[in-house]
Amino acid sequence: MLENYFTDSRTIYRLSNCGIFGQKMEEYAKYLHEQEFSQNTTREYLRAAAHLSRFALWQGINDLSLLNETFACQFVNEHLPNCSCERLNKGKYHSTIRGVWQVLNFLSESKIIPSPVDLIENSLIPKNPQPFKPLKPYPPIQSESGKPTPPRTDIASQAVIMGNLPESMGGIVLQYDEYLDNLFGLSKKTRDVHRLKAMLFLKWIYEEHGSDFQLSSLGTEDILKFQEMCNEYGYSNDYRKTITSCLRGFLRFLRWERIIQDDLTPAVYKLKEWKLASVPKHIPYETAMLLLSAPDRETVKGKRDYLTLLLMLQLGLRANEIIQIELKDISLTKGELFIHKTKTHRGRCLPITNEIAEAIVDYLRVRPERQQSELVLRTVRPYNPLKNSSSLGSVVRQYIEQLDLKVPSYGTHLLRHSLATHLVNNGASFKETADILGHTSIETTGIYAKVQIERLKDIALPFPCWEEVCVI
């Protein structure tokens, strides 16, 4: 039943493993469906039930019969006004309150708790709510000798960072990874990002206070100083947004484990960024097509790289989509290629051009390992499938440097943006472009409207009083 309301398997996993009420989540979803609530309302009530169940898990409750009226009032009156479990509290929790009321009705009808005769829905109103206000961000700090070199933040540096941490802090990092996996069901790639940012924060704390520092002594000033350090290093806005998001998650974990008693997430300020302010980084499509001449197509590696470049330049595939392609997803007779769920959590079917079909056949004839189901494999032993998208990013960078092309950025998304820009500038509609790129919303494709220079000239408004200016 949960599949009727949520398409992301990770969300369904989190709802089903949110604590003591997770085992009843399917039945609860069916109960809400029978009440004929709208789809959006049902989603809100399911999230509210998961929120209540996580709070019960935090309180050490493992018996459904204890999710009664008294506990519901404690959740609404004490926890909600100061809650930062998922995001900064903005004081808007009316749907959560109504969702808690529905949970009580469901448990009552299931004969798990008594009927809530002494409690009406309107009484579940928090007393003196005090929503948190995000702190204003510090302005970037300019060093007199220039911006210092930031610490390494790639995945390979994790062992170095772990080696510099006290043993107690290293154990915290491992617990944090289990917390992200078991409670939230995050993928390994996402957990790696969260774990690395947590290690950077712990490394900074260790250098700031010494190895004898206890995390229970963390305060607001430590959080602000750490963010001040990130500003000083001159990180990009996107990277600092990642750091702040991961920092909030790590602080929630510390409070979940009772390592800290106070909620420090409000001290992590929110970064301001104008929506759609930037132009997609791309190069002329004719320049991007030059990359097809770079691979040596007499070798296995050259044939593989030529195929992957074709998939990026003609179908706009993401690197992660390419490494997930299996042989069963290719139909040369129908001329179709099925792309599995990736970033948008939905699959799509794309047409195969003659060039792509010939490149696939040419590569499969010399592919060293015939037993692997994946299409793209390593070209050296062991002939295993590529593990992550960074492998294809290195391929693109190699050929860009080989041809000495002037590009605004390296990586596979440069080719995806170049194809999208080419399609939009040559008459393709946003709907057609969105279908090829796999965008779930047409607004996502709308960023390419800013690169339609010739079309934008046609809709540009005349300068006020331009006739008078011309006369003068």
Asked if 181 contacts 191 with a C-beta cutoff of 8 angstroms, the reply is: yes
Give catalytic status of residue 343 as yes or no: yes
Reduced to 3 states, what is the DSSP secondary structure of residue 325?
A: coil
Element (H, E) at 167: helix 167-184
Give catalytic status of residue 301 as yes or no: no
Give catalytic status of residue 252 as yes or no: no
Token pair in block for residue 144: 């007199």
Of 47, 255, 297, 439, the catalytic one is: 439
Give catalytic status of residue 235 as yes or no: no
Of 343, 387, 431, 455, the catalytic one is: 343
Beta strands in 415-459 (DSSP E): none
Of 24, 318, 417, 422, the catalytic one is: 318
Of 5, 93, 306, 448, the catalytic one is: 448
Give catalytic status of residue 255 as yes or no: no
Of 194, 240, 282, 416, the catalytic one is: 416
Q: DSSP for 385-426?
A: BP-STHHHHHHHHHHHHHHT---S--SHHHHHHHHHHHHHHT
Residue labelled with tokens 């529905």 = 102
Reduced to 3 states, what is the DSSP secondary structure of residue 72?
A: helix
Give catalytic status of residue 14 as yes or no: no
Residue 377 DSSP label:
B
Residue 155's closest CA among 390, 397, 343?
390
Asked if 362 contacts 303 with a C-beta cutoff of 8 angstroms, the reply is: yes
CA distances (Å), origin 90, targets 50, 94, 129, 131, 390: 19, 11, 10, 5, 38
Of 14, 47, 413, 417, the catalytic one is: 413
> Pseudo-torsion of CA 128, 130, 131, 136, nearest 10°?
160
Asked if 417 contacts 281 with a C-beta cutoff of 8 angstroms, the reply is: yes
Which residues are known catalytic residues? 318, 343, 413, 416, 439, 448
